[in-house]
């Protein structure tokens, strides 16, 4: 299956245009289709149109609490995989983020090491999405076959 997965990239306060472009390129390299979103309304709209989206969520997106954003994004699409980009070592915050349903926590990429870590997380999320898509397709074919056989 070669379908492209949508990866929403939330605009972060303080992220430069070259850093933004670097994230878009990284998403493309891992097999995703980068979709930049500037605010919550754009993110919600995009999530409603995606089957299994991945979100690169900046800790500082649209002047909202990252924890509230995680909960809201998961309510919009329960299949969403959220990679939280946060430059924090606040253990309590990170526990709450994991509890709210993030897929992975990574630092905002500012070095090659940060980019390599984010690339691995993205690759893992993309592979997981593809595996779930294939499983759903097999289940759909099985149900269709059973319906025809019993019908």
Q: Give residue 6's region: left, alpha or beta (phi > 0; psi -120 to 50).
A: beta
Length of the chain: 151
Higher pLDDT, 51 or 102: 102
Establish how many alpha carbons lie within 13 A of residue 60's alpha carbon, considering only the half-sphere containing its beta carbon: 8
Q: Per-residue pLDDT tens for 78-135? A: 889 999 999 998 999 999 999 999 999 999 999 999 999 999 999 999 999 888 888 8
Phi-psi region of 27 (alpha: psi -120 to 50; beta: other; left: phi over 0): alpha
- Among residues of the chain, what percentage have pLDDT more than 70? 97
């Amino acid at each position: 299956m070669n379908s492209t997965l949508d990866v929403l990239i939330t605009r972060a306060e303080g992220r430069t245009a070259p850093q933004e472009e670097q994230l878009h390129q990284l998403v493309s390299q891992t097999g995703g289709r980068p979709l930049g979103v500037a605010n919550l309304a754009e993110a919600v709209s995009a999530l409603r149109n995606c089957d299994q989206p991945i979100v690169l969520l900046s800790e500082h997106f649209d002047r909202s609490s990252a924890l509230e954003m995680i909960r809201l994004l998961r309510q919009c699409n329960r299949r969403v995989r959220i990679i939280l980009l946060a430059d924090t070592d606040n253990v309590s915050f990170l526990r709450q983020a994991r509890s709210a349903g993030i897929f992975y926590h990574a630092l905002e990429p500012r070095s090659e090491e940060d980019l390599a870590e984010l690339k691995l997380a993205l690759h893992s999320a993309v592979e997981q999405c593809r595996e779930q898509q294939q499983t759903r397709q097999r289940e759909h074919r099985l149900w269709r076959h059973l319906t025809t056989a019993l019908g």
